A and B are shown apart, each in its own frame.
Chain A
Amino acid sequence: MSFLEYNVKTTPSGIRKVLYLNWPLILLLAAVASFGFLMLYSVAGGNLGAWAMPQMKRFVLGLTVMFAVAMVPIWLWRNLSVVAYLGSLVLLLAVEFFGAVGMGAQRWIDLGFMRLQPSELMKITLVMVLAAYYDALPVSRTSRPLWVIIPVLLILTPTYLVLTQPDLGTALLLMIGGAAVMFLAGVHWAYFVAVLTAGIGAVTAVFKSRGTDWQLIKDYQFRRIDTFLDPSNDPLGAGYHITQAKIALGSGGWTGRGYMQGTQSRLNFLPEKHTDFIFTTLAEEFGFVGAFSLLALYALIIVFCVSSALANKDRFASLLTLGIATTFFLFFAVNMSMVMGLAPVVGVPLPLVSYGGSAMLVLLAAFGLVQSAHIHRPR
């Protein structure tokens, strides 16, 4: 069913749209963000102004953006998908040339009031353009090779640009997020099996390239992988982060060491404790109970998104909602795996909790799209 078949009269309009918002989802997002405020206050050693307050302001700003996005009918967003995608691509190219370098990678453009990471934006606009593509494509052609190549190119172009920044984590996230939308749209199994096989081959090639002239990834990325595979190998060098993160997490026990009592974070043993490693502080101070609660909140957000998507008869809206939910899932799943020693340290923040402006704004804007789809669903 496409937007042309909507019975416009059945969709809410004007201020009444607020009543049709997915309120439980908003409450869940606020709950997750509150975990963030609490932890940012703690890791700053009881200083509100350091991280917690700016984060709250960004959250309020993000909510405003979310409401604004939600008010715009979903079919308008669908029509804007290609433009948004191309805009992100241009920004990605721009950081190639004008981007500021941080952590050995070109990642952001300084806009003055905030640092814009186009790769964050791209995670959403890629999902948008793919959803729009499959909405337009007749279902019968979904698995035809020619019609598979187009979305693959849509995915690989930004992936390549992000990879050259270089940001392996985001590149993988883009690829998996895009693949998830293709999977949901119904592309034949065989393609995924083929790509997976090719992927394994590529990973093997990357490892084989180590130390040769044609080395495919940077040395520090190799070291991160080494560290992931055996953190005890280099406990004071590259393995330090992951070892300390695991100690913090494990020492929390059932109920944790108490709010603002986590020794690992308070005494600075934890690296990047306000950004990528904030989950370890949460786990240290609130223990298994606290860490599991956050995981449960995330799970509920996914559940609400999936149920909203399945109840939506519009193909674009469903694909978009499911794609955004998957991207969101990838964020926290990769971050948690990373700090628990299940994945290499790839620099993915914990969504809505880690300190950081553009990630939070982009995510809340994405949930604005989910809300828009929810409000403007065909009834």
Chain B
Amino acid sequence: MSRIWKAIGLLAGVVLLAWILYHPGRRPELTVATVNNADMILMQQLSSEFEKQSGVKLNWVVLGENILRQRLTIDISTGSNTFDVITIGSYEAPLWGERGWLVPLDDLGADYGYDDIFDVVRQGLSYRGRMYAAPFYGESAFTYYRKDLFRKAGLEMPVQPSYEQIRQFAQKLHDPEHNVYGICLRGEPGWGQNIAYISTLVHAFGGRWMDSDLKPQLNSRAWAEAVGFYVDLLSKYGPPGAITDGYNENRALFANGNCAMWVDATSAAGYLLDPSQSRVATTTDFAKAPIANVSNGPGWVWSWGLAIPASSKRADIAKQFIKWATSRQYIATVGERFGWLRIPPGSRKSTYEIPAYLQAAPFAPLVREAILSADYTKGSRSLVPFVEVQYVGIPEFQAIGAEVGQEISAALAGRATVQQALALSQAEAERSLKGRSVQ
């Protein structure tokens, strides 16, 4: 008996060893780092076509946004030759391009259609006119609302609501007994979470992060008004525990029918209209992002782009891949194969001329308009010498945004007053920017 067991054990050992030592044959390889967003996962699925065409093997490193950002920052700043294609946002592209960490992408060929890319999106991924990341998809922000609830309450959503109207609607539609909350907004602290939304709110109230000498403006009246409005609105008419709700949580809440209104990124629209993923697919409608004192749009524009680290030894093949993944043809392939609601939107003008897409996505013209209305140099009333949209395009912003996000979240949770939170935020921003001037 024990002999049989020994034989089985030996066999298992040999199988394990063979499995451990097994390595399939090698082809030229490209390591692609990307975020785990639905659009990127589709790209991964479709990439076997690129592999067939080019004979290149793609290795995918898929990570959550925060881990990926940390990973890429260490990797690229130490010049380690780990990745050949990386996924970065419009915050990183110009900053990293400026430091020479990325390969410029101006030479993808005449057939790439540079003119077809939205100017504002291209500008966001460029430094001094050179594009350092090719846009995969872009987004702006608008207002999602439930037309069935509005109809029932006898309310009508204007094309572009004011924040005062939003407050009135939220008050009337707030029905926590039936798990319907007047408004959902980002409450989770983070420069890419609550701060993204709050920046646009401050812009709407006529404020800005800093003046043209990089002096923080968080103690200004506009900030006090905007943050006061946000804390009041969300604590009265928002879902319980709003300080833990980021983009994802709010999207799930809205899809589950728990929000009457939600102001956030346009990229959730396709998902909310998909009946297999949303309970409100037939009852969701869209309006422009709300305005307050200033009427030049939400000033929200973000795009995810593909870039090549300067340390990559396979930049030529990497360029082929990027060209393939950000082309018009790619968008058409996704639309035809997976349905038009699932295409990566917001990067190319021609997307908004595809009849099938416009039919499937009634929100498309509104998205286009919101993207076009964003101006990198004019977050609010006044011109600034740096990018100011839902983030500020300076390296210190990650840290400042994270800190201010925490303070505002404390105010939302009732642990501090709005004045206290903003005073601390101003002090923190001043400390971070001490001795800093615009180059």
Do A and B pair up? The answer is no
Interface residues of B (CB under 8 A from A): none
